[in-house]
Copies of this chain bind each other. A is one copy, B any other.
Amino acid sequence: MDGHRISMLGTGLISDFYTNTLHGQRGRDRVRVVYSRSEERGSAFKERWAIPESTSDLRAAVEHADTDVVVVALPNFLHEEAVGLAAAAGKAVLCTKPLGRTADEARRMLQAVEAAGVFGGYLEDLCYTPKTLKAIASTQAGAIGDVTWVRSRETHPGPHSAWFWDGRLTGGGAIIDLGCHCIEIIRNFVGKGNRPVEVLCHTDTLVHPIADEDNAVALIRFESGAIGQFEVSWTFRGGMDLRDEVAGTHGTIWMNHFLRTGFEMFSAPGAGGGYVAEKAESSSGWLFPVGDEVSELGYVDMFSDMFQAIDEDRAPQETFYDGYVVNAIMDAAYRSAKAHAWVPVDLDWRGGATARIASTPETYDGQVVVKREILPDGRHKLILKDPASGDFIDRIVGGG
């Protein structure tokens, strides 16, 4: 029943979400020390969450004698250093998304944890939302057949902190911020062993006065023939739009994680306290709050999986290798946008091969059945294709 003691690196919004989750709901794990580059922010965070210690010494935070787990919640350009220190200290390291600014950076981090033999967990919360976990399980159980297409969309009006807008520190714009979520969601549905073969991406900077993309759309073709499609934007108006859609040969899944979850409020004076939900644009008129954000956004299930995995000495659902694959696909997206063409995904692939989606068509009377519909009177209408001529005909037959 013993919990873990954590070195939390970073004090931004994501550190608040993480600590809120870890300290919430009778959890047994606790943040023991928090690191910030700023004494002031570290100290405020310490007070806010009743943490015993804060420090502005990164190494001291990582190597703290009472912690066994390091959570990296720093801006992207600091991930590699922090992961390296944690690996050297022989501690389990959990790193926020994206793993690296590039696949090269991510590969080096992967190598660092593997060489040190420490646990490496990739903190990709949106793959752990309760809806997503149940949908993945249903998909794996065959509820929608073979997955043919996945759309993952994450858009909002732009990040809250300055460093997010500086591609030199992050590795890019809306793709590196939001696309990483979408890509890993897509991989969970098409199957993690399904190799991402090539990417087509379009980016543009339409609204904000920045050098990096504030809008992007991409297609990812997987070995099975499945297509992943992501849409990311820092210019969406209306709040934070998090939706996933999955099409299979025998079914469909639609998930709305934020703006339409069965919770609707009209407030003339404005919702109490001003906070409605992350990235909400106003606090009066029609509002769409979210019940329990740390649960709905996947933080709760994510940390449960991570700590259970450490306790059970198994890999978590989302590993550093997954983070590396995501970076490799984002690299391809940026190359594609620049080349204005499909580009292959450059990747040290550890998964196997995946067969193409296929089924043997039904035949009827020597003809191929293209479609079978049940008529109101119980008879069946067949659309048949003559394999020789390629001609199509309608034919009504008895039911059953």
**Which residues of A are in contact with B by a Cβ distance under 8 Å?**
1, 3, 24-30, 129-131, 133-135, 137-145, 148-149, 151, 155, 157-158, 160-163, 165-166, 168, 200, 202, 204, 206-211, 215, 217, 219, 221, 225, 227, 229, 231, 233, 235-239, 241, 247-257, 260-275, 281-282, 284-289, 291-292, 295-296, 300-301, 303-304, 307-308, 340-342, 357, 359, 361, 368-371, 373, 376, 381, 383-385, 390-394
Contacts and interface: CB of A to CB of B under 8 A. Distances in A.
B270 A25 contact: no
B359 A131 contact: no
Contacts of A229: 217, 231
Given A209-B385, A285-B285, A292-B130, A237 B248 contact: yes
Contact of A371 (B130, B157, B248): B157
A25 B301 contact: yes
A161 B394 contact: yes
Q: How many copies does the complex hold?
A: 4
25 contacts: A1-B3, A24-B304, A25-B304, A133-B292, A135-B265, A141-B271, A141-B273, A148-B207, A149-B215, A149-B231, A155-B247, A162-B384, A162-B394, A165-B392, A206-B225, A210-B385, A217-B229, A236-B252, A237-B247, A237-B248, A250-B268, A251-B266, A251-B268, A285-B286, A340-B342
A264 B28 CA distance: 34
Contacts of A263: 131, 134-135, 254-256
A145 B217 contact: no
Given A25-B27, A247-B236, A272-B138, A262 B260 contact: yes
A247 to B, nearest CB: 6
A272 B137 contact: yes
Given A1-B28, A27-B27, 13 more contacts: A26-B27, A133-B292, A157-B371, A161-B394, A168-B390, A207-B357, A210-B385, A238-B251, A238-B266, A252-B265, A254-B264, A266-B281, A281-B285
A26 B217 contact: no
